[in-house]
Amino acid sequence: MNQSNSQVPTGSGLFATPSQVWNGQAPLPVVFWGYGVFVSILLISGFIAALYNNNIWLQEALIIVTLAYTLWVLVGIWRSPPSDTSVWWLVARALTVAWAVNIVLVSGFLQLNLLETAMGL
């Protein structure tokens, strides 16, 4: 069961580099679950911690980072090659677009709340 490096597709395994994700060279499960779901949970957890600690500047930074990161993941999933079960590829794309719309809306409302807090209203 020895495979040469030429037989292993780029981005295979449990990890892929950010450039492989951006260029669509990483497998969909790695991008969707690893980068999309897992890292998004970490970002949201960081925001919740900043919210409970009333750290407005960290909240602001995490909103910006989450928006940029969501765009990056959306592009990575969109560009990932379809697998043999292309229905999951379509489901992943649809869920990612829905997640991106959700992030934009939630970030907008959180931004308004931060602005209100900063103005003392």
**Number of CB atoms found within 10 A of residue 14's CB:** 9
Instruction: State the pLDDT at residue 38.
Output: 93
**All structural domains of the chain with their residue ranges:** 26-119
Inform me whether the pLDDT recorded for 9 exceeds 70.
Answer: no
What is the mean predicted confidence (pLDDT) over 77-81? 88
Angle, vertex CA 84, rays to CA 27 and CA 80, nearest 5: 30
Tell me the C-alpha distance between 50 and 57, whole Å: 9
pTM score of the predicted model: 0.79
**Number of CB atoms found within 10 A of residue 12's CB:** 14
Q: Please report, rounded to a whole number, the percentage of residues in the chain having pLDDT higher than 70.
A: 86
**Number of CB atoms found within 10 A of residue 20's CB:** 19
HEC profile of 7-46 = CCCCCCCCCCCHHHHHCCCCCHHHHHHHHHHHHHHHHHHH
Confidence of residue 121 (pLDDT cuts 50, 70, 90): confident
